[in-house]
A and B are shown apart, each in its own frame.
Chain A
Amino acid sequence: MNRNGDTRQPGDSPAGLSIRESWAEWFDRHSRTFFIAPAVTLILIFAIFPTFYSILFALSRVKFSTTGLRFRFVWFDNFYNEFTGSEQGHFLGRLEGISIFGWLFILVVLAAVIWWLYWSFRKGTSWVGMTGRLISAAMAIFVAFLLGSTLLSGNLWGTLLTTLFYVIVGCSIQFVIGTGLAFLCSQPIVGKNFFRVIFFIPLMITPLGVGYAFRMILDVTKGPFQPFWKFVGLGNWAWSTNAWAARSFVVLGDSWQWIPFIFIIMLAALENVPRDHVEAAQVDGASSIQIFREITWPQIVPVAVTVILIRMIEAFKIVDLPNIMTSGGPGIATESMTLHSYFLWRANDMGSSAAVAYLLLILTVVVCASFFNYVVLGQLRKAHA
Chain B
Amino acid sequence: MANGKPGVQVSFDKIQKSFGAVRVLEELNLQVEPGEFLVLLGASGSGKTTALRILSGLETATAGRVLIGDRDVTSILPKYRDISMVFQSYALYPHKTVAENIGFPLKVRKIPLADREVAVRDAAAQVQLDQLLHRYPRELSGGQRQRVALARAIVRRPSVFLMDEPLSNLDAKLRGHMRAELKHMQQTLGITTIYVTHDQIEAMTLARRVAILERGVLQQLATPAEIYNNPANLFVAQFIGSPPMNVVRGALEGKTFLSNDAKVTVSVGGRIAKAVLGFRPEDCSVVATAKGAIRGEIYTTELIGDHTLVTLKAGSDMLTVKAAKDFTATPGEKAGVAFNSSHLYVFDESNGQRVR
Chains A and B touch (C-beta atoms under 8 A apart): yes
- Asked if A274 meets B108 with Cβ closer than 8 Å, knowing A282-B78, A283-B58, the reply is no
Flag if A284 contacts B87 (CB, 8 Å): no
Complex Cα–Cα for A277 and B104 (A): 12
Complex Cα–Cα for A100 and B88 (A): 63
Flag if A284 contacts B95 (CB, 8 Å): no
Flag if B79 contacts A290 (CB, 8 Å): no
Q: Number of A residues whose C-beta is below 8 Å from B? A: 20
Closest to A297 in B: B95
Counting residue pairs across A and B whose Cβ atoms lie within 8 Å, the total is 58
Select B56's contact among A276, A283, A290, A294, beta carbons within 8 Å.
A283
- Asked if A284 meets B58 with Cβ closer than 8 Å, knowing A276-B91, A277-B93, A279-B91, the reply is no
Flag if A284 contacts B93 (CB, 8 Å): no
**Least Cβ–Cβ distance between B1 and chain A, in angstroms:** 26
The answer, yes or no, to whether A129 is at the interface (CB within 8 Å) is no
Flag if B79 contacts A285 (CB, 8 Å): yes
Closest to A277 in B: B91
Flag if B58 contacts A285 (CB, 8 Å): no
Q: Contacts of B57 on A, CB cut-off 8 Å?
A: 283
Complex Cα–Cα for A287 and B57 (A): 15
Q: Which of A10-50 contact B (CB under 8 A)?
A: none
Q: Contacts of A299 on B, CB cut-off 8 Å?
A: 94-95
Q: Contacts of A285 on B, CB cut-off 8 Å?
A: 78-79, 105, 108-109
Most chain-B Cβ atoms within 10 A of its Cβ — which of A276, A277, A280, A290? Answer: A280
Closest to B95 in A: A298
Complex Cα–Cα for A282 and B95 (A): 18
Q: Which of A262-296 contact B (CB under 8 A)?
A: 274, 276-277, 279-287, 290, 294-295
Q: Contacts of B109 on A, CB cut-off 8 Å?
A: 285
Closest to B88 in A: A276
- Asked if A284 meets B89 with Cβ closer than 8 Å, knowing A279-B58, A299-B94, the reply is no
Q: Mark B221-234, 1 if CB is under 8 A from A, else 0.
A: 00000000000000
Flag if B108 contacts A283 (CB, 8 Å): no
Closest to B85 in A: A283
Complex Cα–Cα for A299 and B91 (A): 13
**Least Cβ–Cβ distance between A358 and chain B, in angstroms:** 42
Q: Mark B73-96, 1 if CB is under 8 A from A, else 0.
A: 000011100011101110101111
Closest to B139 in A: A385
Closest to A382 in B: B95
By DSSP majority rule, is chain A's interface helix, strand, loop, or mixed? helix
Most chain-B Cβ atoms within 10 A of its Cβ — which of A277, A283, A294? Answer: A283
Closest to B53 in A: A279
Select A284's contact among B79, B94, B96, B138, beta carbons within 8 Å.
B79
Q: Which of B77-136 contact A (CB under 8 A)?
A: 77-79, 83-85, 87-89, 91, 93-96, 104-105, 108-109
Flag if A294 contacts B84 (CB, 8 Å): no
Complex Cα–Cα for A281 and B95 (A): 14
- Asked if A280 meets B108 with Cβ closer than 8 Å, knowing A285-B78, A285-B79, the reply is no
Flag if A282 contacts B91 (CB, 8 Å): no
**Least Cβ–Cβ distance between B159 and chain A, in angstroms:** 13
Q: Contacts of B77 on A, CB cut-off 8 Å?
A: 282
Q: Mark A348-385, 1 if CB is under 8 A from B, else 0.
A: 00000000000000000000000000000000001101
Flag if B89 contacts A283 (CB, 8 Å): no
Complex Cα–Cα for A283 and B138 (A): 23
Flag if A276 contacts B108 (CB, 8 Å): no
Flag if B95 contacts A280 (CB, 8 Å): no
Complex Cα–Cα for A286 and B89 (A): 19
Q: Mark B37-63, 1 if CB is under 8 A from A, else 0.
A: 000000000000000000011100000
Q: Contacts of A282 on B, CB cut-off 8 Å?
A: 58, 77-79
Q: Contacts of B78 on A, CB cut-off 8 Å?
A: 282-283, 285
Closest to B87 in A: A276
Flag if B93 contacts A294 (CB, 8 Å): yes
Complex Cα–Cα for A280 and B57 (A): 11
Q: Contacts of A382 on B, CB cut-off 8 Å?
A: 95
Flag if A284 contacts B56 (CB, 8 Å): no
Flag if B94 contacts A280 (CB, 8 Å): no
Q: Contacts of A290 on B, CB cut-off 8 Å?
A: 108
Complex Cα–Cα for A284 and B84 (A): 7
Flag if A281 contacts B104 (CB, 8 Å): yes
Flag if B87 contacts A280 (CB, 8 Å): yes
- Asked if A280 meets B79 with Cβ closer than 8 Å, knowing A286-B108, A290-B108, A294-B104, the reply is no
Q: Contacts of A283 on B, CB cut-off 8 Å?
A: 56-58, 78-79, 83-85
Select A276's contact among B89, B96, B104, B152, beta carbons within 8 Å.
B89
Q: Mark A330-349, 1 if CB is under 8 A from B, else 0.
A: 00000000000000000000
**Least Cβ–Cβ distance between B277 and chain A, in angstroms:** 41
Q: Contacts of B88 on A, CB cut-off 8 Å?
A: 276
**Least Cβ–Cβ distance between A372 and chain B, in angstroms:** 21
Complex Cα–Cα for A383 and B96 (A): 11
Most chain-A Cβ atoms within 10 A of its Cβ — which of B79, B88, B91, B93? Answer: B91
Q: Contacts of B152 on A, CB cut-off 8 Å?
A: 284
Q: Which of A174-188 contact B (CB under 8 A)?
A: none
Closest to B84 in A: A283
Closest to B104 in A: A284
**Least Cβ–Cβ distance between A362 and chain B, in angstroms:** 36
Q: Contacts of A284 on B, CB cut-off 8 Å?
A: 79, 84, 104-105, 108, 152, 156
Return the 8 tightest CB-CB contacts between A and B, nearest first. A285-B79, A280-B91, A284-B105, A276-B91, A298-B95, A286-B108, A283-B78, A283-B85
Q: Can you list 18 A-B contacts (CB < 8 A)?
A: A276-B87, A277-B91, A277-B93, A279-B85, A279-B91, A282-B58, A283-B58, A283-B78, A283-B79, A284-B84, A284-B105, A285-B78, A285-B79, A285-B105, A285-B108, A294-B93, A298-B93, A385-B138
Other A-B contacts than A285-B109, A382-B95, 11 sampled, CB-CB below 8 A, are A276-B89, A276-B91, A279-B87, A282-B78, A283-B79, A284-B152, A285-B78, A285-B79, A294-B93, A295-B93, A299-B94
- A binding-site residues for B, Cβ under 8 Å: 274, 276-277, 279-287, 290, 294-295, 298-299, 382-383, 385
